[in-house]
Chains A and B, each alone.
Chain A
Amino acid sequence: MADIISRPTAPADDADAIRLKKIKDGLTRRHARERRFRAYGVAAIVAAIGFVVILFSMILYKGLPAFTQAELSLNVYFDPEVLSADEPPVQGEGQSAAEYQRAVLGWQRQVTMLNWNRLIEAAIIEAAPDAQVDTRSALSIVETSERFVLRDMFVENPGLLGQTIPVSLLASANADNWLKGNIDRSLPDSQQQLSADARALADRLLEEGKIRFAFAGHIFTNVDSRSAPASAGLAGAFVGSLYMMLVVIVLAVPIGVMSAVYLEEFAPKNRLTDLIEVNINNLAAVPSIVFGLLGAAVFINYFRLPLSALAAGWRPGSDADDASDDHHRYAFGPACRAAVVATGSTRPRCVEDANRVPPRSAGHLSWHPDGHHHRCRAGAG
């Protein structure tokens, strides 16, 4: 708009004209500056929203493929020649429960020792009859723990002997990554995890539809595994997070809410309550790792637990869950320690937030999302 009235025509007075020009130039400059400033603001917002979008899209892009995994659909023939086990034991007359149990366990041990991999190999060759692959390559595309799936099927139903059953088995982690394109296909053989034959076989099976990508439900039901990475899951970590959330809720909700109620409704203004408020504000800003150190020091010095046996810290709580194996318990230890930490840090924050809203009922409301949010954080951390 400044441009429209610039260049005044026929100035009556030189001094006036100069002054007017000065003002108009100044206006132009000022308006340009105004526009620039606004543009900075818009740019900042665009940047901030852009970060949100990039963050979410990258996480979805990287994370979603993890929920599907390559699965082989094979026709497994329960070959009586390979599965040369005894008949499953039957509880005889006068046989005690313990004796029968021992016989069953002995039979299961025998069944476990059978060569299940030969069934898998035969099924793969049946799926791709003309492929020239050796045993090693053929088996390398199936997850190593999948042979136990066949064993469990057989233990459950020994009548499968001699039958051909369609089974879907998880592909190995290497094959899965190869098929998903996570591995550079131009790398030479010496740098590939799978042999050339196995790679060709995996590609071919995928093409023929005998390998497909299916939703990997087992990540929610299996615990982690080193020997069979494709069948590993989150169950242990998930339960640990749940336990931690539970502990945090049980400890932080009552203490946080009651403390807020006191400070808002009852507390007189004196040195003590001032001190409490300053403390709460400070605690809310103390880094979580310092709470972690507090937890470590308390566990080690007060409860006399060595650091590596923090797992034991969970013992009293996990009695109800005694069925869980050592692996679970180990996962709970750190979780418990972190719970102490999270409690420490969530509590003051709840209190602080509740304090901001004077009425008691609103205190509850304002607290809740915050607490939830922190628990989520704690869970992930």
Chain B
Amino acid sequence: MNTALVAALLLVLLGFAYQMGWSRSRSLVTGGSKLHSRPSYHGSLAAIWALLPALLILGLWALLGTTATRAYIIAQLPPEIASLTGADLAGAIARIRQIETGFGVLGETAPWENAAAQALREFRLLTYAVVLAAAAGTGALGLFMARRRITARLRARNEVEGVVRVLLIGCSVVAILTTVGIVASLLSEAIRFFTFVSPVDFFFGTVWNPRFSSVGSGSGDYGLLPLLWGTLMVATIAMIVALPIGLMTAIYLSQYAPPKVRSTVKPIVEVLAGIPTIVYGFFALVTVGPFLAAIGNTLGIDIRATSALTAGVVMGIMIIPFISSLSDDVIRQVPRAMRDGSLGLGATQSETIKRVILPAALPGIVGAFLLAVSRAIGETMIVVLAAGNSPYLRLNPGEPVSTVTVTIVNQLTGDTDFASPQSLVAFALGLTLFAMTLVLNVVALYIVRRYREQYE
């Protein structure tokens, strides 16, 4: 469908309706009556009345048009072709579409194909004209109705605001729909996966070997535990790096640093949060990995360049600003009176921090910590590049590991049959990941919220 023409139609309708509503209500004023709403609201209301039905019809066609066209093509096919299923039918339909657009197809075209393509061309033209006319017609009808409704007493403003409010609510509800979409898509695909592999084997299996070569036969081991182990190991290393540095940075900046130092250091540290994670992955791969391997060499420990340690350290660096700015917020919310009281009793600053401020801020810090853990668990690009992708249960952090996120990427990229367990397992893994982060987030948000209420 010609988008420019449709857009032009809508714009003309919009402009004309607005102008009409505006001028008609103005003429009422000159007629001597007092309007309830200003003319611009009358204009907007007329525009809404004209646009909504037209948009509705265009939207309906966008929704149903593909299906209707497909059904029409199938109706044009000879019965022996139309009774085909799956890829054969799709292939036949695709050929006819291709002929219809005027581009060539492979091989000779059969007469029935040409006839179907010709019919399709006419069908398209006809439906296009009908839909456009229907949209324009309903628009005009709406306009006419709106025009008839315009009186001095019409509460145009209230009605326009009602429509705007519905629009705003719609935008807010998108958040809920997204969540529903995630859960529904993950669940349905994961359930399909569990028809191939039993949940017990998946959640408690210790071997990960999906065997790409045997696509379709469904054999292979899908044990989650090695991946979960890798995820937890990398996240733990990341937190070991990030928590002390982030927390001490927050404490120093909020309690000791003069305002000048604070206002320079804080943005510099927060630069770390704005770097794309793929750049961190690159950094891990070309700098940190070889560096750690060299250190291991001099110490006589075997550390691989791509290992849990490499990925964890770099992920820790990435998370530092996350922890430091969240803890900083929390620490600053501790009432000043508590701090002053402690200092007044003769405690040193560090004693005040350790015995008074930190215990008071603890729930908030725990919340920040949990949010950071959920970030670390869901982080993808760093581990894809730097963790080495080797899904075995190993204790040594110097060895390569694989994580849940890396495996999702591996299973879904490349040319695999989407209905095979090799691909579907990604959704089961995604569901696990989603559940883990959801629990962490909910707990963290709950703690933080409780904490805020405590001091407000």
Complex-state Cα separation, A181 to B405, whole angstroms: 36
How would residues 169 to 182 of chain B score, 1 for a CB under 8 Å from any chain A CB and 0 otherwise? 10111111011011
B248 at the binding interface (Cβ < 8 Å)? yes
A161 within 8 A of B: no
Closest CB of chain B to A298's CB: distance in Å? 7
Closest to A298 in B: B185
Query: Which residue from chain B places its CB closest to the CB of A38 in the assembled complex?
Result: B256
Once the chains are docked, how many angstroms separate the CA of A173 from the CA of B433? 42
Per the bound structure, the CA–CA distance linking A348 and B176 in Å amounts to 10
Query: Is residue A313 contacting chain B, with contact meaning CB distance below 8 A?
Result: no
The CA of A328 and the CA of B13, in the complex, are separated in Å by 37
Judge whether A49 and B265 touch: CB under 8 Å.
yes
Binds A, one of B31-39, B203-211, B423-431: B423-431
| Most chain B C-beta atoms within 10 Å of own C-beta, residue among A59, A294, A351 | A294
Q: How far is the CB of A267 from chain B (nearest CB, A)?
A: 7
For window 317-344 of B, CB contacts with A under 8 Å fall at 317, 320-321, 324
Q: How far is the CA of A373 from the CA of B176 in the complex (A)?
A: 24
What range describes how many residues of B lie at the interface?
A: 35 or more
A293 partner residues in chain B, CB cutoff 8 A = 182, 185-186, 189, 408, 412, 426-427, 430
- Asked whether, in the complex, the Cβ of B174 is within 8 Å of the Cβ of A347, the reply is yes
A154 to B166, CA, bound (A): 65
CB distance B418 to A58 under 8 Å? no
**Chain A residue nearest to B185 in the complex (CB):** A297
Bound Cα distance from A263 to B287, whole angstroms: 45
Known contacts A255-B174, A262-B168; is-contact A286 B283 (Cβ 8 Å): no
Of A27-35, A74-82, A98-106, the one contacting chain B is A27-35
For the complex, what is the distance from the CA of A33 to the CA of B100, rounded to whole Å?
Answer: 83
Q: A380 to B282: give the CA distance in the assembly, Å.
A: 12
**Residue B286, interface by CB 8 Å:** yes
Closest to A35 in B: B350
With A43-B248, A289-B433 known to touch, is A306 a contact of B168 (CB < 8 Å)?
no
C-alpha gap A356/B353 in the complex (Å) = 28
Once A41-B252, A262-B172, A373-B274 are accepted as A-B contacts, the answer to whether A286 and B349 lie under 8 Å apart by CB is no
* Nearest neighbor of A263 in chain B, beta-carbon distance: B172
> Are the C-beta atoms of B371 and A255 separated by less than 8 Å?
no
Instruction: Encode contact with B along A16-59: 1 for CB under 8 Å, 0 otherwise.
Output: 00000000000000110110111011111101110110110011
Stretch at the interface among A6-14, A196-204, A272-280: A272-280
B172's contact among A44, A276, A282, by CB below 8 Å, is which?
A276
Cα A273 to Cα B171 in complex, Å, equals 12
A30 to B347 alpha-carbon distance, docked (Å): 9
Most buried by A among B245, B286, B379: B245
- Measured CB to CB, the residues of A under 8 A from B are 30-31, 33-34, 36-38, 40-45, 47-49, 51-52, 54-55, 58-59, 62, 254-256, 258-259, 261-263, 266-267, 273, 275-276, 278-283, 285-294, 296-298, 300-301, 306-308, 344, 347-348, 351, 373, 376-377, 379-381
